[in-house]
Amino acid sequence: MAATKIHAIYTDDDLLMQAVKQTRAANYHISEVFTPFPVHGLDHAVGLAPTRIAITSFLYGLVGLAVAMAMMNYMMIDDWPQNIGGKPSFTFYQNMPTFIPIMFELTVFFAGHLMVITFYMRSKLWPFKKAENPDPRTTDDRFLMEVDADNHDVEKLSKFLYDTGASEISLIENEHDH
């Protein structure tokens, strides 16, 4: 099945935002938007669901906290208790104030590193992956909106996109939609 898409290129982020709103209001499906920098509010305007990466970050932080507590309990209480500066080493809770910096650091370490790994896996960004950017100018100064044109009149859709402020329109036909 051939998937037909239209690439509309814009020169300004405000113009792109307005075009996205008009395109969604006209009930056209925007499959992707490529920008050279993050555009505030674009995810909401396109209709993307909110990300859940903050939840995973919190859970990863809890894992880091648990690892820190287990590590310090094993090292400083069970395996090799030492009297450092007269501080007791009988129980974990007696040493809790001295363990707080380590617990904080490992919480942040686990949350940060595992969140980045999760982001890359979720985004399918592998090392040496070929870029899927349809137009190299979108890494410099252009904004590209990809609109599905399968069930629409291409001429009418192209005119509509020109009216929203697009500087260029390209018709793209793929052999398979991935």
pLDDT given for residue 175 in this prediction: 59
Nearest Cα residue to 54 out of 141, 137, 112, 133: 112
Mean pLDDT of 105-120: 96
Q: Where are the domains of the chain?
A: 3-36+143-174, 53-123
Most confident by average pLDDT, 59-73, 76-90, 95-109: 59-73
Residue 176 is predicted with a pLDDT of: 57
- Residue by residue, DSSP assigns 138-164 as GGTT-EEEEEE-TTS-HHHHHHHHHHT
Q: Given pLDDT bands bounded at 50, 70 and 90, which one contains residue 23?
A: very high
- Residue 1: which pLDDT band, with cuts at 50, 70 and 90? very low
Whole-number mean pLDDT of the chain?
A: 90
- Top CATH class, 3-36+143-174: alpha beta
For 141-156, the pLDDT digits (tens) are 999 999 998 888 889 9
Distance CA 31, CA 39 (A): 17
Residues 6+ apart with CB under 8 A from 119: 53, 125
